[in-house]
């Protein structure tokens, strides 16, 4: 399959089958925004829940928060975002189209340096660039009815700051001992100059972030620990070792707050790109907020009687980029029974529909009634589950394949005789007979690894 076509096929499948729709579509859309439909939302929730379970619930050193998206503008002054959260912007003098300079620049073969193209990619005119400027990516808004400087606020460009400003609140209410972390899942907004590649670069997206606090002397050990945990979780959601790559980010490319960053990259159809980052943020953020707010954000160690500013390790996951990676990894074209088919080879644990139940024939009430019964019983324990009696059985299988449903249960005439059904495996299309009484534990074992 041509990689360039693959993204188009995934976008089309996502729209057709109710995973992801273009934002505000009936009004011509809104660039950089995407709406999740029923299946996309379930897939998203499954990925989110898996992350929360692994990085928060199963640990004893994590505290979840859900901070406001709108924050006092001083937060963003302290964090460095007002002064420095910008991308290089260039504008064509002729057609006035704006571009992110680093997205259209190419290496000069002689000097090796990045240079703007001689012709505008939009109108093709030669040598028309206005001088490069810096474009701050934060969405500005005003709080309350008066629109002046004092009412300016921003939609958060990262969830991280919501955790730094609540550091003291969590210390005061839970008295955690170092090392410990704060975790948050939530929306972030960036006024990207050129949103592109579907969910990869959007203007509104979701992050899953951890700010993990420790003594300076411990940061390397914790960094390595997260590095391993990240790879394990990526594998849990179906992103195998072969398609995830670690990139040690060189000092000149790191964010202003970072002393070490590893980008975990994924082989998207449009190239190997950042899926998530792991950064050592030092004590930059807590120190910046201490200086700006005057608040006491120091940690007091009762044993050693020391007071100090903890250092911070930050695993920062883009949820939408994870969803896109999962879809790209799962999208498969093959041939089954002599016919071409498309299926999503999703891990059963994150598939949006776990089981589909069919009566072999729609016009045989005894089959339909039995299938309804099996469906109702399974639904008590396994969800989401769907019932489908539309079209012929082959078409029903294909519909479920396309959304990644791992199991299809069919009620046929043998079922009426001996209470057995066929269970079809999505990946190989093979059907095997099982007793109805065995179904629940069989499916649960495959989906959740337990009966």
**Is residue 160 a contact point for ligand GAP (CB under 6 A)?**
yes
Which of these ranges, 18-26, 203-211, 352-360, 397-405, lies near ligand GAP under the rule CB under 6 A? 203-211
Cα separation, 149 vs 77, in Å, equals 14
CA-closest candidate to residue 163, choices 188, 146, 196, 138: 188
Selected from 79, 207, 309, 410, the binder of ligand GAP by CB under 6 A is 207
**Is residue 424 a contact point for ligand GAP (CB under 6 A)?**
no
Selected from 76, 154, 164, 205, the binder of ligand GAP by CB under 6 A is 205
For 413, the 3-state DSSP assignment is helix
Selected from 201, 289, 347, 354, the binder of ligand GAP by CB under 6 A is 201
For 145, the 3-state DSSP assignment is coil
Site map 310..339 versus ligand GAP, x via CB under 6 A: ----x-x-x-xx------------------
Smallest separation, CB 315 to ligand GAP (Å): 9
Smallest separation, CB 263 to ligand GAP (Å): 7
Smallest separation, CB 34 to ligand GAP (Å): 10
Cα separation, 448 vs 443, in Å, equals 8
Strand-pair category, 152-155 with 180-189: unpaired
**Is residue 75 a contact point for ligand GAP (CB under 6 A)?**
no
Phi, psi of 147 (to 5 degrees): -100, 85
**Is residue 100 a contact point for ligand GAP (CB under 6 A)?**
no
Smallest separation, CB 209 to ligand GAP (Å): 6
Selected from 156, 166, 209, 400, the binder of ligand GAP by CB under 6 A is 209
Cα separation, 420 vs 410, in Å, equals 9
**Is residue 285 a contact point for ligand GAP (CB under 6 A)?**
no
**Is residue 192 a contact point for ligand GAP (CB under 6 A)?**
yes
Smallest separation, CB 284 to ligand GAP (Å): 12
User: How many residues interact with ligand GAP (rule CB under 6 A)?
Assistant: 18
Selected from 19, 44, 79, 158, the binder of ligand GAP by CB under 6 A is 158
CA-closest candidate to residue 346, choices 263, 440, 446: 446
Helix axes 38-52 and 219-236, enclosed angle (nearest 10): 140
In this complex, which beta carbon is closest to ligand GAP, that of residue 192 or of residue 412? 192
Selected from 190, 347, 370, 396, the binder of ligand GAP by CB under 6 A is 190
Cα separation, 402 vs 426, in Å, equals 10
Smallest separation, CB 206 to ligand GAP (Å): 8
As a three-state string, the secondary structure of 195-237 is CECCCCECCEEEEEEEEEEECHHHHHHHHHHHHHHHHHHHHHC
Smallest separation, CB 17 to ligand GAP (Å): 22
**CB-nearest residue to ligand GAP:** 318
In this complex, which beta carbon is closest to ligand GAP, that of residue 249 or of residue 357? 249
**Sign of the torsion formed by the C-alpha atoms of 236, 237, 239 and 244:** negative
In this complex, which beta carbon is closest to ligand GAP, that of residue 314 or of residue 329? 314
Smallest separation, CB 69 to ligand GAP (Å): 14
| Element containing residue 424 per DSSP (H, E) | strand 420-425
**Sign of the torsion formed by the C-alpha atoms of 11, 17, 23 and 26:** positive
Smallest separation, CB 211 to ligand GAP (Å): 9
- Whether residue 97 is preceded by a cis peptide bond, meaning omega within 30 degrees of 0, is no
Cα separation, 399 vs 165, in Å, equals 47
**Is residue 277 a contact point for ligand GAP (CB under 6 A)?**
yes
Cα separation, 60 vs 227, in Å, equals 19
Instruction: State the residues that interact with ligand GAP by CB under 6 A.
Output: 158, 160, 190, 192, 201-202, 205, 207, 209, 274-277, 314, 316, 318, 320-321
């Amino acid at each position: 399959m041509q990689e360039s076509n693959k993204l188009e096929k995934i976008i089309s499948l996502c729209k057709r089958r109710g995973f992801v729709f273009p934002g505000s579509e009936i009004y011509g859309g809104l660039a950089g925004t995407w709406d999740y439909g029923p299946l996309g939302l379930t897939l998203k929730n499954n990925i989110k829940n898996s992350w929360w379970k692994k990085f928060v619930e199963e640990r004893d050193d994590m505290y979840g928060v859900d901070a406001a998206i709108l924050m006092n503008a001083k937060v963003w002054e302290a964090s460095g975002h007002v002064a420095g959260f910008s991308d290089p912007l260039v504008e064509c003098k002729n057609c006035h189209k704006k571009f992110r300079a680093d997205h259209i620049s190419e290496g000069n073969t002689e000097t090796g340096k990045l240079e703007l193209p001689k012709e505008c990619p939009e109108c093709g005119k030669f040598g028309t660039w206005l001088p490069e400027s810096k474009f701050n990516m934060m969405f500005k808004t005003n709080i309350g009815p008066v629109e002046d400087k004092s009412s300016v606020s921003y939609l958060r460009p990262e969830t991280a700051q919501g955790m730094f400003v609540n550091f003291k609140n969590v210390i005061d209410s839970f008295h955690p001992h170092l090392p410990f972390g704060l975790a948050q899942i939530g929306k972030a907004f960036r006024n990207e100059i050129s949103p592109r590649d579907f969910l990869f670069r959007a203007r509104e997206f979701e992050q899953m972030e951890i700010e993990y606090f420790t003594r300076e002397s411990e940061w390397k050990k914790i960094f390595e620990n997260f590095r391993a945990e990240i790879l394990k979780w990526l594998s849990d959601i179906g992103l195998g070792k072969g398609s995830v790559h670690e990139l040690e980010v060189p000092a000149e490319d790191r964010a202003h707050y970072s002393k070490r960053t590893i980008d975990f990259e994924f082989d998207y159809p449009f190239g190997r790109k950042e899926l998530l980052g792991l950064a050592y943020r030092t004590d930059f953020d807590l120190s910046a907020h201490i200086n700006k707010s005057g608040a006491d954000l120091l940690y007091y160690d009762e044993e050693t009687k020391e007071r100090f500013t903890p250092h911070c390790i930050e695993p920062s996951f883009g949820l939408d980029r994870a969803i896109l990676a999962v879809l790209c990894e799962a999208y498969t074209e093959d041939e089954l029974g002599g016919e071409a088919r498309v299926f999503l080879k999703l891990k059963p644990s994150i598939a949006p529909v776990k089981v589909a139940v069919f009566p072999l024939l729609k016009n045989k009430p005894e089959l339909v009634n039995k299938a309804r019964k099996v469906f109702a019983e399974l639904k008590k324990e396994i969800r989401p589950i769907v019932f489908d009696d539309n079209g012929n059985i082959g078409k029903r299988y294909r519909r479920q394949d396309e959304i990644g449903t791992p199991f299809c249960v069919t009620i046929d005439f043998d079922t009426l005789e001996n209470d057995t059904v066929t269970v079809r495996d999505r990946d190989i299309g093979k059907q095997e007979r099982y007793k109805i009484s065995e179904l629940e534990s069989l499916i649960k074992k495959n989906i959740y690894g337990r009966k």
